[in-house]
Structure 1
Amino acid sequence: MLSRRTFLLASAAGGAAVATAGLHAAPAPAAGRDPEFAQLLDQFFREGLRQRPEGATQLGLDTGADADLRARLSDVSDAGRAAARALNRAQLARLAAIDPARLGAADRLDYDVVLYTRRATEAVQAFDFGGAGYGPSPYVVSQITGAYQSVPDFLDTKHPIATAADAEAYLSRLAGFAAQLDAETGRMRHDAGAGVAPPDFLLDLTLKQLTALRVPASQALLVQSIARRAAAKGLSPRYADQAARLYTATILPALDRQIAEARALRAGATHEAGVWRLPQGAEFYAVALRTTTTSSRSAEEVHRFGLDQAQAIRARLDQLLRAQGFSKGTIGARMAALYKDPSQLYPNTDAGKAAAIAYCNDRLAAIRTRLPSVFSRVPDYGFEVRRVPPQTELGAASAFSQPPALDGSRPGLVYFNLHDTAEWPKFCLATTVFHEGLPGHQFEGGLALSNRDLPLIRKTGGFSGYGEGWALYAEQLADEMGLYDADPLGRLGYLKFQLFRANRCVVDTGIHRYRWGREQAIAYFVEQEGEAPGFAAREVERYCATPGQACAYKLGHSVFTGLRSQAQAQLGPRFDIKAFHDAVLAPGRVPLDILQQTGERWLAAQARA
């Protein structure tokens, strides 16, 4: 459910693409830190920032000395890709010149994490095809990857228009959008020549979204956005006029070229879903699985892990379903019946969708008051739930979150895809709010952003194994905090989504290692957990476009819960849940292997105390 997402707090490969700054001088290193190493990390941070201007805008830091970034988009051309590879190699060389044994404990952790991201990035960059979405993708343009599906929403909701300079920067980015489209169309052609192209069903979705975006300037979101917001600030109407001219002269032709290329690929596309069919497909999947989960488990091990986890969760679901009067049929059949309960369905209308979002915001408010009982520190940022924009619903994930602006000027956002409200019955909403919002992604991300002990490069990087593992643990924590004591159906929803994450491990590896087809993968979700077919289809299609990432959730969850169980067993009555949470959250986002080591060191210190 991941900006897993237009901006990821994302995969290890994405960790190299740090997103933020706007700080005009390097912050003073925390006490006990090596000043020279702190300076090096700040240099890395700024170098990454210059490559990813969207991130600076998203966190509200494209100001002052970095104000030029507000008028730019990332360079996705061949030259830009080559520059990214060169920068990563140069940073690895600078890290290799450091003797990590001479660093203090905090600096050594930063060194290990940053080195991990650069090595992971190098492994992904070794493949001369693909792009990025929720993680490494073999397809530069798909239903979930590509500028066409990320830039319009970014410009509409993240690019500020408060001044004439902002409006000029918006126009500059419109021109940059057209350049990005053409660069990615060229990469589509390049990759297809190497035997790498999306399957037919992904191209069908991509073409639907591309053609939906291709409307006259008078109807285009990109034109309407600047017209509406510039007028609200009393700015000249010429900005809207210029946007319309730019859109007609550059963006529409670029969209037409990308649509034509997608149609050409569709004419010869296969229906095979997995990357196993691609040149270097097995190698790519191994790298994608490793970099997105940060686990060293093989595809075969992940598949078995998912099957074992699912079996245990189904046993718990069976008991709870029987208690609610659902005793006949498989777990999947009984959950499917619950999905059809009229009392749990919101009307598939704008009013019904608004009611669903209101309920989600209520759950967000309800849990916030309980957080101090299990956490010693709570982020000050605001958070809210919104609906996925209708124009991107078909390809968007079912739910995801985006971080707040670092200065608090924009809240952290949780998005629900309400294309069909039948896919989101009421009993399934709360646990997803806790996963995406509090105490999940927004909580963990907010703590990282406000952590004064972390350098900026660590605050703004991320790993799916850690982030998604924590968010899944947060769902469990909400149950332990009593949020379902008066809501037994909500507890069923919580366990249903635990089962969903276990099944993801089975399905993702099934597609890419064991050669499952799209329909087989969708049927598995429907049969095993009663999943809504449309929901299951979008999830499966996402895994086809971004292999491996879906496995990060349950693998990460198992590390957090394993460490907690180990601590409870060893410490007994001395176990303090707040201290445990401090131990796994204070170091910031780390690969799972490093999280395991960090947790074990904390536990050893507690045992000695």
Structure 2
Amino acid sequence: MINRRNLLAGGSALAAVAVTACSKPVAKAANLNTLFQSMYDETVANSPMLATSLGLDKDKLAPLKSKLDPATPEERARLTAYYEKSATALKAIDRKTLSGMDRINYDTVLWDTETTLEGYKSFKFGDGGTYWGPYPITQLTGSYQSVPDFLDSQHSIETKDDADAYLSRLNQYAQLLDQETARFNASIADGIVPPDFALQKAIRQMETQSSTKADASPLVQSIVNRTKDKAIAGDWSAPATKAYQEAILPALGRQIEALKAALPKATHDAGVWHIPNGDARYAFGVKANTSTTLTPDEIHQIGLDKVKEISAEMDAIMKAQGMTKGTTGERLAAMHKDPKFWYENTDAGKDKLLADLNRQVEVVFAKLPQFFGVLPKSKVTVKRVPKATELGAPGGYYQGASLDGKRPGAYYINLRDTKEVPSWTLPTLTYHEAIPGHHMQISIQQENKNLPELRKISGFNAYIEGWALYAEQLAGTDMGMYETDPFGHIGYLSDAMFRACRLVVDTGMHAKRWSREQAMAFMMTNLGDSNETEIERYCVWPGQALGYMVGKIQWLKLRAAATTKAGAGFDIKKFHDTGLLCGAVPLDVLEQVYKDAGLI
């Protein structure tokens, strides 16, 4: 149920009154809200890492701060039983007795619970309730990827107890690596073998980590530096170094050997069709990540149509800038290679890039009151993807703020090579990940006092990513951010093309049996870049990339319907507040929200 990468964690009184569908739950739904609270309490209590991510690992939940989430068969069985129990309890409530936001909440949580349960029982999809794929460890999946940054950026250290809890988690990290290695080996025995390129890149990343000396490891330096900053007395380097050298490195070495042992069994096939029950696995990935009934063939055709449409729009703007030679993809490639758009590929150059993006966030933030009645209270900061995992990480991603707002939201950008992120590509990425994209939507959901706690932390890929893509267009078309920035406008269209191409290559590899190279060639033709890292992402997260454009299309469809119904009286603030105050929901439920509000 909880997508930990997109943890969602308020609305103004005016907005709450204006949005009929998102009003406070009525008293007769007390049983439903009691069940939601029980599900929320159990979810947080049984996920120490979630508790930390939400900033709840204190007071009665303080013992959770010294633990990590296990990756054992027993834990998966416990989670499966939890979802079964929750689904049964939800279905025992008569939906016909619910109305307004109570019914929206019910439909949302039941869909999420049943879909997660289907993934767990039928396809062993993901870990911790994500819908992202069947492989336990890849270049993008596994605790070797997530835990070091989690400990550094989300585990707060203010007291000696916090530091002791960090050391406890450091030792447990080694145990978690071994648990995941066991899970990986079991998966390989079942024939669920990641593609060779995914294993090879994961091995390279792990070897880079394992070759790092203790005094240079972020795992050790994080506690040493932060205890020093907080003047917490004691020798924290020695126990952290011991845990790193005697527990973590050996466990990481065992995981590397497991992946190397699996390599001879791996093929170069990109799609999940090559593993047992692959077609059904992909159908589930499409359903879970788009929250629609669209088929892979339908999505493939939508992608082809969008590619054609966006290419024509981009061509016109490029010609207006004197760029007339070659295909749009070739012209984009030339822009990527033009040094005038590059930041220096040095620490100083990367610091300047981050500073420029943080200033850009402030500019957009100042425009928000013209388009939204409800604004986020929590701040957002732009940060660099950790060097240790930047090789396989995507270009950018968002991490939600803590529920208490003490830890701001963070938009991570991959700066492994600044030539990969020329200046004309950065505005749209910022609007997507920060304001008015992920940070805007996620913060409003977290801060909304009219949502059950369970709903504040739930996430739906197509809603979340669809909103972020809609926000890119909102920033440009409505906020006028590209009026004096034609190259930034080209960057927006390039990103739109990128998301349209995703529909084609994801369905191509997983449903039409395209090769990795065929997908890269399609990207090269239309974007002037093979997007190797991205293509490999789609291979191990089947269907995840579909939610972006499918979701955006739904947001635009709903806005068009609301505009048609209201005519000259269309209120953009009311439209946005309605869709954001109800929190993340499946796309069909989102349409019902607007119907209940009388906007469509």
- Alpha-carbon distance, 1:606 to partner: 4.6
Residue in 1 that maps onto 2:132:
136
Q: How does 1:527-538 map to 2 (within 5 A)?
A: 527-531=525-529, 533=530, 536-538=531-533
Letter in 1 for 2:275: L
**What is the SS of the residue equivalent to 2:482?**
coil
CA contact (8 A) 1:223 1:247 kept: yes
Partner of 1:49: 44
Check conservation: 1:129, 1:196, Cα contact below 8 A.
no
Q: In structure 2, do the counterparts of structure 1 residues 307 and 9 end up closer, same or farther at CA, with 3 Å as the change threshold?
A: farther
Which AA in structure 2 matches 1:64?
D
CA deviation vs aligned residue, 1:146-171 (integer Å, no higher than 9, x gap): 01110011101111111111011111
Residues 264-304 of structure 1, C-alpha deviation per residue, up to 9 Å, x if partnerless? Answer: 01133211111000001111111111111112101111101
Greater displacement, 515-524 / 484-493: 515-524
**Secondary structure in 1 matching 2:294:** coil
| Superposition CA RMSD, Å | 1.7
Residue 157 of structure 1 is matched in structure 2 by 153
Instruction: Answer yes or no: is 1:207 the counterpart of 2:203.
Output: yes
Whether the 8 Å CA contact 1:563–1:600 is kept in 2: the answer is no
**In structure 1, what is the equivalent of residue 362 of structure 2?**
365
CA contact (8 A) 1:124 1:136 kept: no
Provide the rounded CA distance (Å) in 1 between the counterparts of 2:599 and 2:143. Answer: 49
| Post-superposition CA distance 1:372-415 (Å, at most 9, x none) | 11111111111111111111101111100111122121111101
Question: In structure 2, what is the Cα distance between the partners aligned to 1:184 and 1:378?
Answer: 40
The residue number in structure 2 matching 1:237 is 234
* Aligned position for 2:473: 476
User: Pairwise mapping of residues 438-477 of structure 1 onto structure 2 (< 5 A)?
Assistant: 438-477=435-474
Residue 544 of structure 1 aligns to a residue in which SS?
helix
Distance 1:239 1:512, change over 3 A: same
Q: Percent identity?
A: 41
Residue of structure 2 in register with 1:491 after alignment: 489
Which residue of the other structure, out of 400, 414, 428, is the alignment partner of 2:411?
A: 414
> Residues 64-94 of structure 1: CA distance to partner in whole angstroms, max 9, x if unpaired?
1111111111121111111111111111111
User: 1-side partners of 2:584 and 2:577: how far apart?
Assistant: 13
Q: Pick the aligned partner of 1:32 from 26, 35, 38.
A: 26
SS in 2 for 1:549: coil
Contact persistence 1:403–1:445 (CA under 8 A): yes
Relative contact order (alpha carbons < 8 A, sep ≥ 6): 1 or 2 greater?
A: 2
1:320: how far off?
Answer: 0.4
Native 8 Å contact 2:119 2:125 kept in 1: no
Question: What is the alpha-carbon distance in structure 2 between the residues aligned to residue 408 and residue 579 of structure 1?
Answer: 25
After TM superposition, the structure 1 stretch with the greater mean CA deviation from structure 2, 350-359 or 364-373, is 350-359
**Alignment equivalent of 1:270, drawn from 238, 254, 267:** 267
1:198 paired residue among 194, 198, 204? 194
Q: Which moved more, 1:401-410 or 1:100-109?
A: 100-109
Runs (4+) of structure 1 exceeding 6 A deviation are none
Query: Is the Cα–Cα contact under 8 Å of residues 71 and 179 in structure 2 kept in the other structure?
Result: yes
SS of residue matched to 2:236: helix
Partner residue in 1 for 2:512: 514
Map of 1:162-561 to 2, 5 A cutoff? Answer: 162-214=158-210, 215-479=212-476, 480-531=478-529, 533=530, 536-561=531-556
- Give deviations 1:99-132, integer Å, cap 9, x for gaps: 1111232211111100001111111112464534
Count of aligned pairs between the two proteins: 582
Inter-partner Cα distance in structure 1 for 2:46 and 2:393: 25
User: Which residue number corresponds to residue 72 of structure 1?
Assistant: 67
1:196 counterpart SS class: coil
The alpha carbon displacement at 1:185 in A equals 0.4
Mapped contact 2:45–2:51 kept (Cα < 8 A): no
Deviation larger for 171-180 or 227-236: 227-236
The alpha carbon displacement at 1:547 in A equals: 0.6
1:301-347 CA distance string (max 9 Å, x none): 11011111111111110110110111121110111112122221112
For 2:99 and 2:519, the matched residues in 1 are separated by 48
Amino acid at match of 1:279: P
Contact 1:51 1:75 survives alignment (8 Å): no
User: How far is 1:252 from its partner?
Assistant: 1.5
- Distance in 2 of aligned mates of 1:566 and 1:109: 20
